[in-house]
Structure 1
Amino acid sequence: MMLQAHTDGWTLLFLAAFIPGVHLQRNDSSIQPVSDSELHPEVVIYRPVLQPSESIPPTETYMLKDVLGTVCIKATLGAEYIVIEKKPWYFSLDPSRVRTSGYCGTEDAVLSLTLPDNAASLQFNFRKDKDAFYVVKVTAHLAYPICQGCANKSYLGLLAHEKLFRTTNGQSFNCKSESLLLLSSQLSIKLVPLQMQAFSLRKGQYGKEMECWADFNKRVIPIIVGATVVGLLLIAVLTFLVVRDRRRQGYDPL
């Protein structure tokens, strides 16, 4: 028996020395086996964290290229989800976690922004006419657990058959003001700021900016109000001068 054990030992040493992949293992109870948790660490699933108050969403530029490597969609935006669940809850899209996807066609294009584990998404469907392009559909969803240990609850929203952000081909739609999209009774999307262009981007750069109505009103209305006030003041001054001159003429001797 001892001779056989001795022979087996030399055999193992020979195999370990000359045959790759064969290793000696100590029969030591102090060496603990690898646990399943170390071999298969727990996968952390990304879940949005909703906030009770609004905040300015971080801005990022998202681009999509066609099969030739040409930029066909470019969008600079900050997006905030607004969920109505007894009271408003808010979630800002994190650009560092967004995956960009979609496709580019001659008359239709899609830009999809998706968070890990499909926790949230935002999609724009573009359409091109002869002289303009616009967003014909916006879809979004947000999934989060409503309580600790509860299953995820999803909020879905759709805004279709529209001509949003309509812009002349070769130009970009630009809006520094808030753009609020009501996608459902429980889900809205706030875009601020927003600049986008599809189909025709020279060297991947935005074309001439087309100002949105909200920005136009913010810029023009104060000018109109100011001009109206100045006009009223001038009328008041002129009226006062005319009345004063007439009163003086009434006291002149005949």
Structure 2
Amino acid sequence: MKIVNAFVTLVVVLLAVSGAIQAVTLEVTDGNSTCIKAELSAVFSITYNASNSTRTALVTLPDSASVDPGSSSCGSAGSSPWLVAVFGSGHALGLSFTSNGSVYSVTNLTLQYNLSDATVFPEANSSDVVTVVSASVGIWAPVNSTYRCLSSATFRLDTANLTFSNMRLQAYMSGNDLSPNESVCLADQTTTPAPPRPTPSTTPVPVPTPAGPPERGFYNVTQNNTVCLLAHMGLQLNVTYTDTQNKTVQDVMNINPDHTSSSGSCEANSASLVLTQEQSTILTFNFTLNSTSKRYHLSGVSLVANWPDLPANFSAGNSSLNYLRSSFGHSYMCNAEQTLVVLPTFSINTFKLQVQPFGVTTTQFASAEECQIDQDQMLIPIIVGAALSGLVLIVLIAYLIGRKRSHAGYQTI
């Protein structure tokens, strides 16, 4: 995967240098007002099956791409804002947005491509129209500011890679043009000239004081005025980063429910829970339901953090996880502390967790399937008790046998 991403990035750079990639301007309007505006370049690397092999098609978002007025919208009380750009013969790129009032973010990237387009997919085995989605991509900015990322950023969407560059983007706009206030992505920040490196110090970086157990919070997702996802848990985030002195630092932060809002979405086979703590943290959980086995699991987690101790925005995510497994119509529960490793630089400690992303029919959790750790902890006292009972029984039997033998040793006079 890293080789593919590196190759696509190299192609993007070469195309950009040659002038083959041009920024496209896309706007979603409501009447005379603009609510979403994007200036960006995009390249799609799509893997498909051909007659005798697997091929990869490289497609650039053309300057002829236009906003689809039927699929795009500024959003309403029951729906999210969408920017959908159509191009070529049945291809489309979609971005959906959400906001908690202080921060807006891209919640989903959607790519639709038409395999019957022989100019793009020669000798394709299928003529299907394929739709692939990537959630929680780490594109976010404070409300009334523009998200800017001139560097190339690649996102994985199942059978395709999508690489953005030269991106300026704003949703929930208050005016008709991009705000001059910019929120710069981490990649652009790291490309600026670094300050002179200080003389290496032998003084060790102090280890942060443990944050202590986090407070347990109630979170839910409401869609169409109905609660569709429930969560009750304490969360502790562990991140590793390199500070301005080029030293590795480990930071621990608890999610505070009193300062955290929840949002997300619920679909037939996927659900997401987005936790936003003030303007500093966006933590997203993605769940997937197997429609055949009727079992679900936590398939992806992403974090975007802007904490005071961080030298730059921290962004990390993994969409190939397999945690919190349970059955449809049941909740997953684990009272014991768990550590969910997302990446080597990012993990989550959960405390007294209970979650139900599918089959929610009321505002209460359904019957729970407990984690293996809880089951083992319940078995330990049972096993110890049984062992002690067995030991007592053995001692009693030995005592009775010994007493019987001692009586048999006396003779009647």
Query: Is 1:235–2:394 an aligned residue pair?
Result: yes
Task: Determine the structure 2 residue equivalent to 1:19.
Answer: none
Provide closer, same or farther for how the CA distance between residues 116 and 226 of structure 1 changes in structure 2, counting only shifts above 3 A: same
Query: Is 1:127–2:292 an aligned residue pair?
Result: no
Which secondary structure does the structure 2 equivalent of 1:54 belong to? coil
**Is residue 231–residue 353 contact of structure 2 (8 Å, CA) maintained in 1?**
yes
**Is residue 155–residue 186 contact of structure 1 (8 Å, CA) maintained in 2?**
no
What does the per-residue CA deviation read over 1:25-74, in whole Å, with 9 as the maximum and x for residues that have no partner? xxxxxxxxxxxxxxxxxxxxxxxxx95113121111111122x2211111
Task: Determine the structure 2 residue equivalent to 1:156.
Answer: 316
Distance in structure 1 (CA, Å) of the matches to 2:313 and 2:309 = 7
Task: Determine the structure 2 residue equivalent to 1:83.
Answer: 239
Task: Determine the structure 2 residue equivalent to 1:55.
Answer: 212
Distance in structure 1 (CA, Å) of the matches to 2:404 and 2:258 = 72
Which structure has greater helix proportion?
Answer: 1
**Is residue 304–residue 313 contact of structure 2 (8 Å, CA) maintained in 1?**
no
Query: Please, what is the CA RMSD of the aligned residues?
Result: 2.7
Q: Which amino acid aligns with 1:103?
A: S
Query: Is 1:96–2:258 an aligned residue pair?
Result: yes
Distance in structure 2 (CA, Å) of the matches to 1:69 and 1:215 = 34
Alpha-carbon distance, 1:253 to partner: 6.3
Distance in structure 1 (CA, Å) of the matches to 2:260 and 2:386 = 46
Distance in structure 1 (CA, Å) of the matches to 2:364 and 2:295 = 18
The alignment covers a number of residue pairs equal to 201
What does the per-residue CA deviation read over 1:152-175, in whole Å, with 9 as the maximum and x for residues that have no partner? 2526243x4333222221111111
Task: Determine the structure 2 residue equivalent to 1:207.
Answer: 366
Identity %: 28
Can you give the 5+ residue segments of structure 2 that lack an aligned partner in the other structure? 1-206, 242-247
Alignment of 1:22-33 (within 5 A): none
Q: Which amino acid aligns with 1:109?
A: A
Distance in structure 2 (CA, Å) of the matches to 1:228 and 1:137 = 42
Task: Determine the structure 2 residue equivalent to 1:195.
Answer: 354
Provide closer, same or farther for how the CA distance between residues 247 and 199 of structure 1 changes in structure 2, counting only shifts above 3 A: same
**Is residue 52–residue 88 contact of structure 1 (8 Å, CA) maintained in 2?**
no
Which secondary structure does the structure 2 equivalent of 1:162 belong to? coil
Alpha-carbon distance, 1:251 to partner: 4.4
Alpha-carbon distance, 1:186 to partner: 2.8
Alignment of 1:208-223 (within 5 A): 208-223=367-382
Query: Is 1:106–2:106 an aligned residue pair?
Result: no
Alpha-carbon distance, 1:92 to partner: 0.5
Relative to the length of structure 2, the TM-score reads: 0.44
Which structure has greater strand proportion?
Answer: 2
Alpha-carbon distance, 1:225 to partner: 0.7
Query: Which of 187-196 and 108-117 deviates more?
Result: 108-117
Task: Determine the structure 1 residue equivalent to 2:222.
Answer: 65
Distance in structure 1 (CA, Å) of the matches to 2:270 and 2:345 = 29
Alpha-carbon distance, 1:204 to partner: 2.5
Provide closer, same or farther for how the CA distance between residues 215 and 134 of structure 1 changes in structure 2, counting only shifts above 3 A: same
Distance in structure 1 (CA, Å) of the matches to 2:249 and 2:391 = 46
**Is residue 303–residue 314 contact of structure 2 (8 Å, CA) maintained in 1?**
no
Q: Which amino acid aligns with 1:83?
A: V
**Is residue 157–residue 188 contact of structure 1 (8 Å, CA) maintained in 2?**
no
Can you give the 5+ residue segments of structure 1 that lack an aligned partner in the other structure? 1-49
Which secondary structure does the structure 2 equivalent of 1:152 belong to? coil
Greater relative contact order, per chain length (Cα 8 Å cut-off, separation 6+): 1
Among 126, 135, 142, the alignment partner of 2:305 is: 142
Alpha-carbon distance, 1:196 to partner: 0.6
